[in-house]
Amino acid sequence: MENEPIIRFQDFGFQYTAQAEPTLYHINLDIHKGEKVLIAGPSGCGKSTLAHCINGLVPNSYPGKSTGSLTIGGKNAQNMGLFELSQTVGTVLQDSDGQFIGLTVAEDIAFALENDCVPVGPMHDTVARIAELVDVKQVLNHAPHEISGGQKQRVGLGGVMVGNVDVLLFDEPLANLDPATGKQAIVLIDEIQKRTGCAVIIIEHRVEDVLYRPVDRVILMEDGRIRYDGDPDSLLCTDLLPACGIREPLYVTALKYAGVALTKAMRPSYLPELTLSDAQKEQVRCWYEQHPNAEVNAAAPVLLRAENLDFTYDGGHHALRGVSVTVHKGEMLSIVGTNGAGKSTFSKVVCGFEKAQSGILELNGIDLNTLSIKERADHIGYVMQNPNQMISKTQIYDEVALGLRNRQVPEEEIRPRVEETLKICGLYPFRNWPVSALSYGQKKRVTIASILVLKPEMILLDEPTAGQDLKHYTEIMDFLRELNRQGITVVLITHDMHLMLEYTPRAVVFHAGKVIADKSAAEVLNDPQIVAEAHLKETSLYHLSALCGIDNSEEFTRRFIARDREVRK
């Protein structure tokens, strides 16, 4: 029957065995074949649990008690095992390295077929066909670390498509991708859906990026309940997204600031089809003209000077080609570019993890090459992306004190320094807690504290907000800005275009081992050539200003960010 939904939640609720409160309450939701649905919501809203109910990890791997009913493909999901469900629902996990199980691309695509005991001959045919479909044919014999993040995700998708599933479920597909690759992923998902006609469910909090291609419905979740279930245009006319702690598309926020009353008919969810009347365009122009020029900071003295750095890895990969970057005292700046553009290599060279073959590297006029890794760390602190990779002590206090103890600082001097740092980082109330009791964001602070305690002049952070929702993102970034106000120079390596616009006046763009731009973040993102070359994603404000006839899209972006900052405060 055509109208029978493939997934049907009826008054469904769920509580994990280990938790005191239910995670999902009274969920009523139908999803039909051929639909494309975005499920959005802040961290902890229950969207992942909902996804786990659909693919069977709940209750098969994460036990708990459910109420109401959930049917998938007409059958009661509670009675279906993981394997039976996997015939209907294909899941692509957020962690593409965890998803990629095979030794090579071909073996990974074949994984489900192998488990199904498909004979080798037909298996090779299916793999070839699917590889063609997801465009990884050239890399079939490559190992996972030899291909790009975008290709890895294509392989992940191919791996679940071999099973002819009716539902494709994507768990945060954009989390680990650079902006341009994220865009390609959304396009690919769209094409696959059109070609196969299966239902697509995307779990994601980056709404604007998903809306790069139209979706049929958005389900907005908060506190285990569905707050909104309907078409995306109507949703954007309301203020529900920001109320739930989800970032709206920037152009929508800008239109709201300008006082434009949004209606469903204007098609706000899909930028290429957004229609504005002349009066509304005038409103936007008026808003732009009324707002003052955003301030530009004067240059401070130079802290770090890198000139003509050249670096080649042992394997022959020429990662830095004549890179020159200057960092001023008290600055907060972004380093952006694709994976493999050289930004991580640059940070490794700065921290002394790798040594440049040629070029000058100076801090406050001192040649950094004369200092060991440990000595450099007294001036430049490096914070890894994943706090779990940095924390080696069980107690917060010990973790923060580690660097000082390793430097043989006397214990009576350590205590005040650690306590002071914990106060700066807002961790003082937790000082006697074990690290394991902290949230991800708090752990991140612990790692930052463990670096700050060494009193570096500059800290370098790798993807500080990866995978965080708006609330945690704002928490981490406001904290970093506060540190910056106190005089610490902050350098961020990031994929997040909005982060760079909102928090860092200056952006350095890497591409293929070279610096291809070094100017204000707004300028970078309004320059189509740089955006294309460095695989960035232009801000939607660029399109909006063009649509409204504003020539200086850069200044428009700057004024919007300044305004947005005031409002969000």
Partner 1 sequence: MTNLFNYIDRPSPIHRLTGACKLVCLILWTLAAMTSFYTPLLVAMTVAAVLLFRIARLKLKDISVTLGIMCVYIVMNNILIFLFSPMHGTNIYGTKTVLFHIAGPYSVTAEQLFYHLNVILKNACTIPIVLLFVCTTNPSEFAASLNRIGISYRISYAVALALRYIPDIQREYRDISLAQQARGTEMSKKANLIHRLKAASAILIPLILSSMERIETISNAMELRGFGKEKKRTWYSGRPFSKLDLACMLSCAVLMLLSLTLTYLNGGRYFNPFQ
Partner 2 sequence: MKKFSVKTIVAIGIGAALFFVLGRFVAIPSPVPNTSISVQYGLLAFLAVVYGPVAGALVGLIGHTLIDFSYGWGVWWSWVIASGVFGLLMGIAAKTLKMEEGELGKKGLIKFNISQLVCHLICWLAVAPVLDVYMMGEPWDKLIAQGLMAAVANAVTTAIVGSLLCIAYAATKTKAGSLTKE
Angle between helix axes 278-290 and 250-257 (nearest 10 degrees) is: 80
The CA-to-CA distance between both ends of the chain, in Å, stands at: 52
Amino acid at 284: V
- What is d(CA 530, CA 518) in angstroms, rounded to the nearest whole number? 11
The 3-state DSSP class for residue 174 equals: coil
Residue from 429, 487, 529, 566 binding partner 2 (CB under 8 A): 429
Residue from 3, 290, 436, 529 binding partner 2 (CB under 8 A): 436
Residue 106 contact, options partner 2, partner 1, none, Cβ 5-8 Å cut-off depending on partner type: partner 1
Segment interacting with partner 2 (CB under 8 A) among 145-153, 214-222, 319-327, 431-439:
431-439
Q: Is 353 in the site for partner 1 (CB under 8 A)?
A: yes
Least CB distance from residue 430 to partner 2, whole Å? 6
**Which two three-digit tokens encode residue 278?**
């002349």
Contact partners, residue 68, CB within 8 Å, separation at least 6: 9, 10, 11, 12, 13, 26, 27
The 3-state DSSP class for residue 310 equals: strand
Q: Largest alpha-carbon pair distance within the chain? A: 76
Least CB distance from residue 365 to partner 2, whole Å? 36
Nearest to 189 by CA among 272, 267, 112, 90: 90
- The partner residues of 92 in beta bridges, in order of sequence, read 170
Least CB distance from residue 172 to partner 1, whole Å? 13
Residue 433 contact, options partner 1, partner 2, none, Cβ 5-8 Å cut-off depending on partner type: partner 2
Q: Which of residues 154-183 bind partner 1 (CB under 8 A)?
A: 159-160, 163
- What is d(CA 291, CA 397) in angstroms, rounded to the nearest whole number? 47
CA–centroid distance for 294 within its chain = 27
CA–centroid distance for 307 within its chain = 31
Size of the site for partner 2 (CB under 8 A): 11
Residue 367 contact, options partner 1, partner 2, none, Cβ 5-8 Å cut-off depending on partner type: none
- What is d(CA 251, CA 257) in angstroms, rounded to the nearest whole number? 10
Residue 369 contact, options partner 1, partner 2, none, Cβ 5-8 Å cut-off depending on partner type: none
Q: Is 388 in the site for partner 1 (CB under 8 A)?
A: yes
Segment interacting with partner 1 (CB under 8 A) among 122-130, 217-225, 287-295, 543-551:
122-130
The 3-state DSSP class for residue 450 equals: helix
Residue from 1, 20, 98, 416 binding partner 1 (CB under 8 A): 98
Residue 99 contact, options partner 2, partner 1, none, Cβ 5-8 Å cut-off depending on partner type: partner 1
Residue 120 contact, options partner 2, partner 1, none, Cβ 5-8 Å cut-off depending on partner type: partner 1
CB 460 within 8 A of CB 381: yes
**Where on the chain is the footprint of partner 2 (CB under 8 A)?**
392, 394, 429-437
**Where on the chain is the footprint of partner 1 (CB under 8 A)?**
55-57, 60-61, 82-83, 86, 91, 93, 95, 97-99, 101-104, 106-107, 110-120, 123-124, 127, 143-146, 159-160, 163, 315, 348, 351-353, 373-374, 376-377, 381-382, 384, 386, 388-392, 402-403, 406-407, 450-451, 454
